[in-house]
Structure 1
Amino acid sequence: MVTVYAVSDSIGETAELVAKASANQFRTNIQVKRVPYIKSAEDVNEFINSVEDPENSAVISTLVLVEVREFLVQRCIEKGINIINILGPCVSTISRMTGKQPDYTPGAVWKMDDEYYRKIEAMEFAMQYDDSKNLSGIKHADVVLVGLSRTSKTPLCMYLANKGIKALNIPLMPEIPMPQELLEIDKKKIFGLKIDPMQLIEIRKHRLSKMKSSYKEIEYANAERVLDELDYAEKIMRRLRCKTIDVTQRAIEDTALIIMKSIGYTSDKK
């Protein structure tokens, strides 16, 4: 088995994301392991000595400390381990373009600045107002998601929160009237999540299989019930005149990108 090590002098999330994105391009079993906080020659040696199968191993590194990065390259070459450093060439290129020397600060992408605190605030907002817990948050939200149960509203809110976007979700059910607050905000903030009925039924059946048997009598995954809910949701979305997104077989990241583009979000937005 091929093993890709995501090596970092910080928490290693950037390296791991690149490693997983690369591994997912191949229809074979590739193991990705995160190796965080490699900040010294001793850390490098400890890591290298832990690699069990050097010939079938590769390192994707985001080390920024030059001396540690160069030592890691040296040790990998000695052991016959393939290595790619993805930050080194990028930092060097930007340095040449700007005429400035980089700070070489490990974990700089995760620094606790204003953007970091906006993300924390957005996450707290998403949890506080999740699933209509408190409708007073509607007027303060950057994004309001409406949709049926199991259309990924909550995880989508949390993903958006990680971008510093205050998002809340309103579950649509025929038995519960639509909050009138939705008619009082800019419709450009509202996004209706639509889904294929067959996929929704399968998702709900899977959900029921994880519950206690006493819950299995409800019509949660009943085809007729699901179609009624979909019809109700369609009427609500038409009334709101909001943008709709079909989340059938769509990744949360893809749906979030559509929303962010629609609201004009940029990574440096203050």
Structure 2
Amino acid sequence: MSTDLPPRTANAPRRISTYFHVHLVSDSTGETLNAMAKAVVARFEGVIPIEHIYALVRSPKQLERVLEEIEAAPGIVLHTLVDPELRAMLEKGCRILGAPQLGALDPLVTALSGYLGASLSSRVGAQHALDSDYFERMGALDFAIHHDDGQGLAELERADVVLVGVSRTSKTPTCVYLAHRGIRAANVPLVPTQEPPELLSRLKNPLVVGLVVSPDRLVSIRRNRLQHLGVDPNTDYVDTDLVREETIRARRLFERLGWPVIDVSRRSVEETAAQVINLVNERRSGRLGASQ
């Protein structure tokens, strides 16, 4: 008699998700810790974290309240505390409560410290200092806002990147994400009833990137948008044939002008922005070709 288990069928019951508490303790904004936790949890199937975020924890009194919360909802504790006294207090408290804890940046900090032979900074929130990089990012964000959706065309030469594409190709959120990386990004929409601005073909300083998406995907995105706005979906905006023509014209324009192209059909905004950054770096190093 065979002991092999039968293959799982489409009707087999799905595994029940496992919920768990994760306590994120930071002496700064908590953004780094939150992003790291999400990235790690995404590697596991069937688990759903219940996040408890404690930002700007910089005193023993604040940490006492954190430990009370951990005791009330036992789970794993991740932290990025810099102050040695607060860190020791948290580690001791977690030992008493039997809660596993980890300094999320410890492995990387240890590796870099050993490689560089440099001492560590004890300055809290050092990555959020009001230095030139900070103000550069804020300036880039202001630029993205004032050069969104075809605004400020006369100032596009000041941009690092100009994203061009038909409606709903994630131009605006990608520009905002790039701004947070200090890149001045503008975007210009391609409108079916209008010729693209002639200025685009004459730009010298910015890298112009075409964003494309598959027609079927684009129709789906636009239908969802209209539904969200409570607008009648029976318009040319979501007509399959017209949308296909619209995307074909966009691709032909990008090819004619020799712009690099990114297909955002199955990309997140973060992935699209990362590809744009790669293109910017390639251009600066003189390695950028005319196609993607």
With structure 2 as the length reference, what TM-score do the two structures score? 0.85
Q: Residue 229 of structure 1 aligns to a residue in which SS?
A: helix
Choose the corresponding residue for 2:245, options 228, 249, 265.
228
Q: Deviations 1:246-266 (Å, cap 9, x if unpaired)?
A: 11111111111111111118x
Deviations 1:30-68 (A, max 9, x none): 2223210111222221111113231xx111111111111
Residue 5 of structure 1 and its aligned partner are, at CA, apart by 1.6
Secondary structure of the corresponding residue to residue 144 of structure 1: strand
1:42 aligns with 2:61: yes
Specify the SS of the correspondent of 1:50. Answer: helix
CA contact (8 A) 2:158 2:205 kept: no
Name which of 145, 148, 161 aligns with 1:127.
Answer: 145
Alignment gaps of 5+ in structure 2 = 1-18, 283-292
Which of residues 169, 173, 179 in structure 1 aligns to 2:197? 179
Counterpart of 1:268 in structure 2 is none
Residue 133 (structure 2) aligns with: 115
The 3 A distance-change label for structure 1 pair 220 and 205 is: same
**1:3 corresponds to:** 21
Secondary structure of the residue aligned to 1:158 is helix
CA distance in 1, matches of 2:91, 2:277: 39
CA distance in 2, matches of 1:35, 1:84: 15
Note if 1:256 corresponds to 2:276: no
Following the alignment from structure 2 to structure 1, what is the Cα–Cα distance between the partners of residues 259 and 77? 46
Counterpart in the other structure of 2:105: 87
CA deviations over 1:100-127 (Å, ceiling 9, x no partner): 4323111101111111111011101000
- 1:235–1:187 Cα change, 3 Å: farther
Contact 1:160 1:167 in 2 (8 A): yes
Q: 1:226 offset after TM fit, Å? A: 0.7
The percentage of aligned residue pairs carrying the same residue is 33
The 1:82–1:185 alpha-carbon spacing in structure 2 relative to 1, beyond 3 Å, is same
CA–CA distance in 2 between the matches of 1:33 and 1:91?
24
RMSD: 1.8
**One-letter code of the match for 2:65?**
E
Secondary structure of the 2:236 match is coil
**Secondary structure at 2:194 match in 1:** coil
Question: What's the TM-score, normalizing by structure 1?
Answer: 0.91
Are the equivalent residues in 2 in contact too, given 1:20–1:32 (CA < 8 A)? no
**Worse-matched range after superposition: 26-35 or 156-165:** 26-35
**Is the CA contact (8 Å cut-off) linking 2:159 and 2:205 kept in structure 1?**
no
Displacement, 1:188?
A: 7.2
Looking at structure 2, the residues matched to 106 and 212 of structure 1 have their Cα atoms a distance apart, in angstroms, of: 47
Larger Rg: 2
* Contact 2:81 2:87 (8 Å CA) reproduced: yes
Asked if the contact 2:162/2:206 (under 8 Å) is kept, the reply is no
SS at match of 1:5: strand
Does structure 2 conserve the Cα–Cα contact (< 8 Å) formed by 1:16 and 1:33?
no
Question: Who is 1:241 aligned against?
Answer: 258
Aligned residues: 262
- In the alignment, what sits opposite 1:168? 186
Q: Is the alpha carbon distance of 1:187 and 1:250 closer, same or farther for their aligned partners in structure 2, counting shifts above 3 Å?
A: farther
The equivalent of 1:204 in structure 2 is 222
Instruction: Report how far residue 242 of structure 1 moved.
Output: 0.3
Counterpart for residue 30 of structure 1: 49
The residue type paired with residue 138 of structure 2 is: I
Structure 1 regions of 5+ residues with no counterpart? 266-270
